[in-house]
Amino acid sequence: MRKAQRLRAFLLEKPVLLSFVLAVFAVLLVYSDVLWRWNGLLYDWNLRYWWRSPPEDVVIVAIDEYSLDQIGRWPWPRQTHAAVVDRLTTVGAKAIALDIILPNRAQLIPVLMNAWHKLFKTVDELFCRYCLSNATLTVR
């Protein structure tokens, strides 16, 4: 106990040394797997215990096994995405978010960009014009 008190007194008398020791400790924590493991555990716990259903006026259109059986394997043609955006717009969707990965460096098809442009008249106008005028978009 006496050694711990002496070490504490020594570090408190030397704030620069204490700062250095804390900085080294912080760097070691950041570059070790300890924080990543705790982050993963807390994230999993959060998803498990704080999950809630979306509101009734929210519809999630998911890509499931039935969709893959009906349309075919992934990736689907851009015309398929455009048809979904057109259909959702037709039935009165107020917001559409696409959370999909398009794995290949594909050319942006004008059909998809036109459907997107119909949905977003002002916000994405410049983006759609850019995409329609350029055949490809480099994805990094």
pLDDT in tens, the chain (140 residues): 688 888 777 777 777 777 888 899 988 888 887 888 888 889 999 888 887 887 888 888 888 899 889 888 877 877 788 788 888 888 888 888 888 776 655 555 666 667 666 666 544 555 555 565 554 544 43
Q: Judge if 83 and 117 occupy the same domain.
A: yes
Q: Judge if 77 and 17 occupy the same domain.
A: no
Q: Is residue 140 part of a domain?
A: no
Q: Judge if 36 and 95 occupy the same domain.
A: no
Q: Is residue 36 part of a domain?
A: yes
**Do the beta carbons of residue 131 and residue 109 sit within 8 Å?**
no
**Do the beta carbons of residue 79 and residue 111 sit within 8 Å?**
yes
Dihedral angle computed from the Cα positions of residues 107, 108, 109 and 115, in that order, rounded to the nearest 10 degrees: 170
Q: Judge if 69 and 41 occupy the same domain.
A: no
CB proximity list for 133: less than 8 A, separation 6 or greater: none
**Do the beta carbons of residue 80 and residue 71 sit within 8 Å?**
yes
Into how many domains does the chain fold?
Answer: 2
Does the predicted model carry a pTM greater than 0.75?
no
Q: Judge if 69 and 106 occupy the same domain.
A: yes
Domain hosting 86: range is 65-133
